[in-house]
């Protein structure tokens, strides 16, 4: 069949023969086979790391919606605010309870101070014959330090397996016991150095409480330091001293008998430190025994101390 179309051309009727030049592009290929210039520019920009993130022009993409905060976030904010309010309320109630506890201990010491038995100078000289003021004072300090160490060791042993609700009670018992021992020591040191405060039993007890809270000796020549009424300032100083003692005695509550050893050492050290400060002040105001006028015998308390405190005050040197 001369002049007819080849069979393979009839199978693709829509295809025409390529008529474009081959020499326009590199390697003898046409530009339209290599892709459009815009597409090549985009590929080069992407490979260089500078491809634009903007959507293509004319792209029909949905716009982002402005959605409200999730419910979980709102619940978290409510819970956070509530927790903050509860923390503030708990701190306020805890502070109120702490102040109430300190006020109770201060009132208890004020009530116990006149009931502490104190030996006068004549009794001390009979119990320690042949000793001078400094030697008797040393004996008194040693006995008080041993007694306060015993109290600390007893509280530490009781706290071998501490129960959190019982800890404040144990600390209060220790502070009360040690304070009674040290108040007795302060009163008898004033007797030894010839500086008994004037007034009744209640007046002297108030003066000794002020000496204990301030850790200073009483100057009997200054009425302001002796005639100290139980006013707001003195009670505040008493509460501060009680708080300081309770903070220092916290290690006594360590378990496994460690607190017993720590309590004994710390209480002995604190009592000796207090005695050193008191004696330093009293030495500067000391009245020699040969210059002392005969003082009346100290009256004994009408109401005795509770058995635990009474036992703590009995022993060598007491």
DSSP assignment string, 152-211: HHHHHHHTSS--GGGHHHHHHHHHHHHHHHHHHHHHHHHHHTT-PPPS-HHHHHHHHHHH
Rounded to an integer, the average pLDDT of 12-26 is 50
Rounded to an integer, the average pLDDT of 289-310 is 83
| Biggest CA-to-CA distance, the chain | 164
C-alpha distances in Å from residue 251, one per residue of 179, 262, 280, 288 = 18, 7, 29, 42
* pLDDT of 165 higher than 50: no
What does the pLDDT read at residue 158? Answer: 54
- Write the burial class of residue 140 (CB in 10 Å: 0-12 exposed, 13-18 middle, 19+ buried): buried
What does the pLDDT read at residue 114? Answer: 92
Q: What is the pLDDT of residues 215-239, one digit of tens each?
A: 888 876 665 555 555 566 778 888 8
Query: In this structure, what DSSP letter does residue 256 have?
Result: T
* pLDDT of 179 higher than 50: yes
Most confident of 131-145, 148-162, 283-297: 131-145
For the chain, give the percent of residues with pLDDT over 90: 26
What does the pLDDT read at residue 23? Answer: 47
* pLDDT of 74 higher than 60: yes
Most confident of 4-13, 51-60, 140-149: 140-149
| Gap between the Cα atoms of 303 and 112, Å rounded | 9
| Gap between the Cα atoms of 166 and 171, Å rounded | 9
Q: What is the pLDDT of residues 127-147, one digit of tens each?
A: 999 999 999 999 999 999 999
User: Is-contact 164 295, C-beta < 8 A?
Assistant: no
What does the pLDDT read at residue 10? Answer: 53
* pLDDT of 51 higher than 70: no
pLDDT band of 188, cuts 50, 70, 90: very high
User: Is-contact 254 155, C-beta < 8 A?
Assistant: no
* pLDDT of 295 higher than 60: yes
What does the pLDDT read at residue 258? Answer: 60
| Gap between the Cα atoms of 297 and 304, Å rounded | 18
* pLDDT of 266 higher than 90: no
| Gap between the Cα atoms of 208 and 180, Å rounded | 11
Residue 254: phi and psi, rounded to 5, are -65, 145
Which residue reads 């903007």 in tokens?
A: 54
Query: In this structure, what DSSP letter does residue 25 have?
Result: S
What does the pLDDT read at residue 80? Answer: 72
What does the pLDDT read at residue 64? Answer: 54
C-alpha distances in Å from residue 132, one per residue of 34, 136, 289, 293 = 119, 6, 9, 17
pLDDT band of 56, cuts 50, 70, 90: low
Top pLDDT among 71 and 5 is at: 71
**CA angle centred on 267, ends 140 and 219, rounded to 5°:** 50
């Amino acid at each position: 069949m001369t002049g007819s179309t080849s069979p393979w051309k009839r199978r693709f009727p829509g295809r025409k023969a390529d008529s474009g030049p081959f020499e326009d592009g590199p390697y003898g290929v046409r530009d339209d086979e290599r892709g459009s210039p815009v597409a090549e520019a985009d590929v080069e920009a992407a490979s260089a790391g500078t491809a634009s993130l903007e959507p293509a022009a004319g792209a029909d993409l949905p716009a982002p919606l402005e959605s409200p905060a999730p419910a979980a976030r709102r619940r978290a904010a409510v819970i956070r605010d509530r927790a903050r309010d509860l923390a503030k309320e708990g701190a306020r109630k805890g502070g109120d309870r702490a102040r109430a506890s300190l006020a109770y201990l201060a009132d208890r010491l004020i009530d116990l101070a006149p009931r502490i038995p104190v030996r006068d100078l004549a009794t001390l000289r009979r119990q320690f014959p042949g000793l001078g003021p400094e030697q008797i004072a040393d004996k008194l300090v040693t006995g008080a330090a041993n007694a306060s160490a015993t109290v600390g060791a007893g509280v530490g042993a009781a706290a071998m397996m501490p129960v959190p609700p019982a800890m404040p009670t144990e600390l209060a018992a220790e502070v009360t016991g040690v304070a009674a021992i040290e108040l007795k020591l302060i009163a008898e040191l004033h007797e030894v150095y010839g500086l008994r405060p004037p007034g009744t039993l209640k007046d002297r007890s108030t003066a000794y409480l002020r000496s204990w809270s301030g850790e200073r000796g009483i100057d009997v020549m200054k009425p302001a330091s002796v005639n100290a009424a139980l006013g707001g300032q003195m009670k505040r100083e008493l509460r501060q001293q009680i708080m300081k003692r309770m903070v220092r005695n916290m290690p006594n509550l360590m378990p496994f008998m460690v607190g017993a050893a720590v309590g004994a050492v710390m209480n002995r050290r604190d009592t000796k430190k207090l005695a050193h400060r008191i004696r330093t002040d009293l030495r500067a105001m000391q009245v020699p025994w040969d210059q002392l006028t005969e003082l009346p015998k100290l009256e004994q308390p009408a109401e005795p101390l509770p058995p635990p405190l009474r036992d703590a005050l009995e022993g060598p040197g007491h």
